[in-house]
Amino acid sequence: MKEFVLDSVTKMDAVCWLFVLAFFCGCALLCGGDVRMAFIGAWGVIGTMFLISVSIEMIIETLKNMRGLGTIVGFITNGPEALCLIVGLLAGDVLFAASTPLGSNFMNPVLLVIAAIVTKRAIATWRTNRAYSLTCIGLTAAFAAEFYFLPEKLYWIWWGAAAIMTAVLFFWRPKEKEPESKEEAAFSKLWLIPAVAVMLTAGYFLDPVVSFASAQSHAPKNLIGFLVLATLTSWPEFKSCLVLFRRGRVLSAILNITVSNITNIWLAMLGAGIYLVF
């Protein structure tokens, strides 16, 4: 177990962690923030990122011989967004709850491209079911953006159009083939439950931890919104893409992002539907 945890930490993880420390502590020094608290907040972000990294490695390890791995991981990595939606619904802030998952639809494809470049799978990614990938990413991003600008009286139209669009995209998605050779998993499938629980919990707390570090460092708001919050809170999708690309599962990595985007629309539909009914 110890060896697996150490092996799951890659050079990319270490670079991202150093960036987190440098960003928050540097902003605190330059913008008059609390350097000590920004340092603590940065380590909180790194800790949650580490838990997400290890849990995703374990999830993919236990499921690596399963057909439809990309679709399954796409659903699982949307767990933090689902938790945010539930918390928003319980707090009565339904529109905020619905908009939370939609924000990921803009960053997910960017992180897919970065992961493909880092793992030297960019050409293979471009050649793999390009028509579906571009159509799905483009439509789900467009529907996410449209939600922010529509007046409330048009929510039902958006809801109906989104339901049709996502149903077509989900059933049109390319089917993954079973691995040509079966590998013995390093862990029993019983490890899947605690691994998913850790990933969901860490993913849910990543947003408030990043917000705390941002507040303490006095980082510029434009950088917080795009470079920090949007990027780091999509770490589960990014990390899973890196793992899948490294294992040669290009289509699985693509489906991880496309299914995640589709699921984000479904979560927003749930929030908007509850808002309209109640």
Q: How many CA atoms lie within 13 A of 195 on its CB side?
A: 23
CB 231 within 8 A of CB 104: no
40 CA to centre of own chain: 24
30-41 mean pLDDT: 92
Question: What is the structure's pLDDT at 96?
Answer: 66
Residue 8 scores a pLDDT above 60 = no
d(C-alpha 266, C-alpha 193), whole Å: 24
Give residue 215's identity as a one-letter amino acid code: A
- Tens digit of each residue's pLDDT (9 = 90 or more) over 236-271: 888 899 989 988 899 999 999 999 999 999 998 988
The fraction of the chain above a pLDDT of 70, given in percent, is 84
Using alpha carbons, select from 268, 246, 252 the residue that is nearest to residue 120. Answer: 246
- Tens digit of each residue's pLDDT (9 = 90 or more) over 147-182: 888 887 888 999 999 999 999 999 999 998 766 555
d(C-alpha 237, C-alpha 14), whole Å: 17
Question: What is the structure's pLDDT at 180?
Answer: 58
pTM listed for this prediction = 0.82
Question: What is the structure's pLDDT at 192?
Answer: 85
- Tens digit of each residue's pLDDT (9 = 90 or more) over 73-128: 999 888 887 877 787 777 776 666 676 678 788 889 999 999 999 999 999 999 99
Question: What is the structure's pLDDT at 186?
Answer: 54
126-142 mean pLDDT: 95
What is the longest distance spanned by two Cα atoms in the chain? 56
Question: What is the structure's pLDDT at 115?
Answer: 93
DSSP 227: I
- List the single range of 38-42, 138-142, 149-153, 265-269 with lowest mean pLDDT: 149-153
d(C-alpha 228, C-alpha 27), whole Å: 12
Buried b (16+ CB within 10 A) or exposed e, 259-273: bbbbbbbbbbbbbbb
- Tens digit of each residue's pLDDT (9 = 90 or more) over 201-242: 888 887 788 888 888 998 765 556 555 656 666 788 888 999
Question: What is the structure's pLDDT at 275?
Answer: 78
